A and B are shown apart, each in its own frame.
Chain A
Amino acid sequence: MATDTAATTEVSAAEEGVRRRDWIHIAALGTAGVGGASVLFPLISQMAPSQDVLAASTTEVDVGAIQPGQSIKATFRKQPLFVKRLTAEEIAKAKADDGAAMRDPAKLADRTKAGHEDVLVTMGVCTHLGCVPLGAAEGESKGEFGGYFCPCHGSHYDVAGRIRKGPAPLNLKVPEYTFTSDTVIRVG
């Protein structure tokens, strides 16, 4: 930085002087660079979810009133959440399919909580491109496998929310949740 302007300076610096000078310029520029880079941190961080959004990220759902064969839609992190109470036939069917060829193999038992095998909690977000699948409300198409069907690009999910046909790469996501009582779950 200094050496290329030696034309106008009258100093004929010794080799050592030149090196000491360069060190100062490099240090000054480096420090300025570190400072500039650390300014980026708050500027980037401000776009991450704010404290109120993070704090609102648990949802409690009362699953006691759901009849077998019925589903309800709740919201979790402002996304739809499907809670479905499976009938005995559906459980049997899902278990029978546990070993079938699937894109994203999973067992029904791994997608429900022990002791509550009839309660299937999944996100209502198609793993393809994020549409809300049909099948949670009365009278909606449940797709070829009797579970959920995404109308956007034709993904069929079975009764356990597993992808069986269509472009979606993964099963409907099962969020983290716990039973806080026999009938209430807390998601998140």
Chain B
Amino acid sequence: MTIRLGGIIAGLAITAVLVLWSLLPGAYNYAFGPAPEQQPSYAFYEHGEGPAGGFSFDGAFGKWDYAQLQRGYQVYKEVCAACHSLKFVSFRNLRQLGYTEAEVAAEAATWTIPGIDPTTGDQTTNPGKPTDAFPPVYYSGQGNPPDLSLITKARHDGSNYVYALLTGYGEPDPAKAAKVGFEVPDGLYFNKHFPNVNIAMPQPLSDGQVTYADGTESSVAQMSKDVAAFLTWTAEPSLVERRQTGWFVLGFLLFATTLAFLSYKQIWAGLKPKKK
């Protein structure tokens, strides 16, 4: 009885504190207080969509498009790598993109990796070996370009986000901007798919910037799609293998659970209630 009485008193007390000191002032403020200030830039944000037709790896049966991954790697190497590192990926991983061992070794050798000269102890650079990771990038400008190894997992709906971001550059509608008093701050660039629409990265891609070895036309949309696919692979190299294993495991479990169900029903058969 004491516990119940104490409980009732404590319950009423905590409710009273909550309602009188938090809920009512908050609700009053919500109803009659000034509306929360909206930053003008939010008026321009548009949720970005992925490429038309999606990616080859979308869905539970999706597969890598290796030609696309190779093109995406080329875009990364020729454009993104100037500012963005890829530190959790090694050159040997490129074997997965369909390159042969010799091609990987040759590709690795086109990169320079910081190292230590074993005879003098000085800092030096060596041509990359397949076992090396992609080198760090020292960016001297403003801002802090993120490492791209995991970028598609570090953003919500990352593959589509990368594509939308790369194709989202442009100018704000001048009439609307004048109306809400919006200006792109100095040193930032307008991108309608970036959460606060002012991004530090200038538009990286322009039509024809990369000459694809397989002759694919290098429009901004195409390059964005290819590099988004490549970065999906760098973030989750086991994606396709994982789903394939998953189908096998699910099939096995369905079979096993069916058997378990039959076994369970069989065991209980004699006990089933005979309701009248």
Residues of A participating in the B interface, judged by any CB pair closer than 8 Å: 1-2, 5, 8-11, 21, 24-25, 27-29, 31-32, 35, 38, 51-52, 55-56
Q: Which B225-276 residues sit within 8 Å CB-CB of chain A? A: 252-253, 255-256, 259-260, 262-263, 266-267, 269-271
**Pairwise interchain contact B256-A56, C-beta atoms closer than 8 A:** no
Q: How many residues of B contact A (CB 8 A)?
A: 17
Interface flag for B92 (CB, 8 Å):
yes
B262 close to A24 (CB less than 8 A): yes
Seed contacts A9-B271, A25-B267, A32-B256; 10 additional CB < 8 Å A-B pairs: A1-B267, A5-B267, A11-B269, A24-B263, A24-B266, A25-B263, A29-B263, A55-B90, A55-B130, A56-B131
Contacts of A55 in B (CB 8 A): 90, 92, 130-131
Taking Cβ atoms with an 8 Å cutoff, the residues of B that contact A are 90, 92, 130-131, 252-253, 255-256, 259-260, 262-263, 266-267, 269-271
The listed residue with most B CB atoms (<10 A of its CB), out of A5, A8, A29, A56, is: A56
Query: Is the pair B131, A35 in contact by a Cβ cutoff of 8 Å?
Result: no
What are the residues of chain B within 8 A of A35 when measuring CB–CB?
252-253, 256
Question: Closest 5 interchain pairs by CB?
Answer: A9-B270, A11-B270, A28-B259, A28-B263, A31-B256
> Would you call A8 and B271 a contact (CB within 8 A)?
yes
Query: Main SS of the interface on chain A?
Result: helix
CA distance A81 to B3 in the complex (A): 75
Q: Are A28 and B260 in contact (CB under 8 A)?
A: yes
Give chain B residues whose Cβ lies under 8 Å from the Cβ of A11.
269-270
Interface-centre pick from B260, B262, B266 (highest chain A CB count, 10 A): B266
Q: Is B266 a contact partner of A21 (Cβ separation < 8 A)?
A: yes
Q: Determine the residue in chain B with the shortest Cβ distance to A21.
A: B266
